[in-house]
Amino acid sequence: MVDVLSPEDRELRALLGAVHTVAVIGLSSNPARPSYQVARYLQEHGYRIVPVNPNETEVLGERAYASLADVPKDVGIAS
């Protein structure tokens, strides 16, 4: 049985090919956390990451925001 909530690989490729800025909800500054590892990978592959975590001020050199609502419109994340 296929999970209808899981996008196909081709859908993920199309989505990630169309965007250049990715908000990472819950991004931690702890390098051992999966969120940090994923965000670092994205950065290393040309994406701008926008950390969204009320407990952080900066992660991977990017300013962190407490919530998606706090991210300025000019940052360029899709809503």
pLDDT tens track for 21-53 = 999 999 999 999 999 999 999 999 999 999 999
- Residue 51: CB partners within 8 Å, gap ≥ 6? 24, 27, 39, 58, 59, 60, 62, 63, 64, 65
Which of the two residues, 58 and 10, has the higher pLDDT score?
58
Tokens matching residue 33:
């956390």
Domain ranges (residues) in the chain: 21-69
The pLDDT of residue 2: 54
The pLDDT of residue 31: 97
Q: Say what the pTM is.
A: 0.77
Task: Kindly state which CATH superfamily the domain 21-69 is placed in.
Answer: NAD(P)-binding Rossmann-like Domain (3.40.50.720)
